[in-house]
């Protein structure tokens, strides 16, 4: 029986969670219900120590057309306060996705427009099909990409944002790769293979070290190199060296054996 839930979460035996936007009839456009369900899925996974990687995917031909137009039309009829609360819900979901302690991978096929570019930007890495297309199309309908802007600008840089926020041009996967929005391009039939390669690379590393490395990036990126920052990085490496996982990793390396997180 086909699952008709708008957001589906599946976790395999290795601790790989796949969160799937499941609204293919509307090209996976999202509304307030999907935003709320994504937030719930993300918050639940954040608490799971056994989940090591999160893949953000979607069903059907397209990753996501962004916000559902019927939903947007309905919101336009509401007052400022209602619209503010709605925007805060979307912003909260994006921040939760960006802040997940586990590494995140966006699996992108077909179109990724508007808010969908925000979802991709919130993930640590992304793989897109050769035929994928992207657009920050908000200004075409008299809006702005406000809630996604902190993540998109971090991803593609201010200069590229100045172009694509203002022109709403579509760009292809090769351009997305140049901009840093995606990490890899795959043939359509090889999309899952490319995602799996990234997942396998992550699973080969120390689970606590991976989380610590992600937290390190968040706390160091864009910061001025002060004495306090240097001291913080020293404390981080000292802490992980004496941790159980750090000790096991160093011992395994010196003894030329696999670390215990790889099993037998």
149-163 residue pLDDT tens: 999 999 999 999 999
Decide if 145 contacts 164 (C-beta within 8 A). no
| Domain boundary assignment for the chain | 7-203, 207-262
pLDDT for 32 equals 92
- Give the C-alpha separation, 37 to 134, whole Å: 24
Superfamily of domain 207-262: Lyase 2-enoyl-coa Hydratase, Chain  A, domain 2 (1.10.12.10)
* Residues 7-39: b if buried by 16+ CB within 10 A, e if exposed: bbbebeeebbbbbbbbbeebbbbbbbebbbbbb
Strand, coil or helix: what is 130?
coil
7-203 to CATH, choices 3.40.50.1980, 3.90.226.10, 1.10.10.10, 3.40.50.1370: 3.90.226.10
Decide if 90 contacts 98 (C-beta within 8 A). no
Report the DSSP beta bridge partners of residue 58. 21
pLDDT for 263 equals 78
CA 19, 87, 128, 125 dihedral sign is negative
**pLDDT class for 1, splitting at 50, 70, 90?**
low
Residue 171 backbone dihedrals phi, psi, to 5 degrees: -135, 155
Provide the mean pLDDT of the chain: 94
Q: Give long-range contacts, CB 8 A cutoff, 24+ apart: 229-236.
A: 236/212
Token pair 């140049």 in the structure block, residue: 178
The number of residues in the chain equals 264
Non-local (6+) Cβ contacts of 10 within 8 A are 17, 18, 20
Residue 82: pLDDT over 90: no
* pLDDT tens column, 96-148: 999 999 999 999 999 999 999 999 999 999 999 999 999 999 999 899 999 99
pTM beyond cutoff 0.75: yes
Lowest mean pLDDT among 40-44, 71-75, 213-217: 71-75
CA 55, 157, 209, 203 dihedral sign is positive
Residue 264: pLDDT over 80: no
Apex 188 CA angle, 185 and 192, nearest 5: 80
Percentage of residues in the chain with pLDDT exceeding 90?
Answer: 85
Per-residue tokens: 148 = 């996604």
């Amino acid at each position: 029986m086909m699952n008709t839930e708008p957001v589906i979460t599946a976790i395999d035996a290795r601790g790989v969670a796949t969160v799937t936007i499941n609204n293919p009839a509307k090209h996976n456009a999202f509304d307030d219900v999907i935003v709320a369900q994504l937030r719930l899925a993300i918050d639940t996974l954040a608490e799971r120590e056994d989940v090591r990687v999160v893949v953000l995917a979607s069903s059907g031909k397209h990753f996501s057309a962004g916000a559902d137009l019927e939903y947007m039309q309905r919101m336009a009829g509401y007052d400022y306060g209602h619209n503010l609360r709605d925007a805060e819900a979307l912003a909260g979901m994006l921040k939760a996705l960006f802040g997940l302690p586990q590494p995140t991978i966006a699996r992108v096929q077909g179109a990724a427009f508007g808010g969908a570019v925000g979802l991709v930007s919130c993930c640590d890495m992304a793989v897109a099909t050769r035929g994928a297309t992207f657009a920050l199309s908000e200004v075409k309908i008299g809006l702005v990409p406000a809630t996604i802007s902190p993540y998109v600008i971090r991803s593609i840089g201010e200069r590229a944002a100045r172009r694509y926020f203002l022109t709403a041009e579509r760009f292809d996967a090769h351009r997305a790769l140049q901009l840093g929005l995606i990490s890899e391009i795959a043939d359509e039939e090889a999309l899952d293979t490319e995602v799996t390669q990234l997942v396998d690379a992550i699973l080969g590393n120390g689970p606590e070290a991976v989380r610590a490395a992600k937290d390190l990036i968040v706390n160091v990126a864009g910061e001025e190199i002060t004495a306090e920052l240097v001291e913080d990085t020293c404390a981080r490496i000292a802490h992980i060296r004496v941790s159980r996982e750090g000790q096991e990793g160093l011992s395994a390396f010196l003894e030329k054996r696999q670390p215990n997180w790889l099993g037998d």
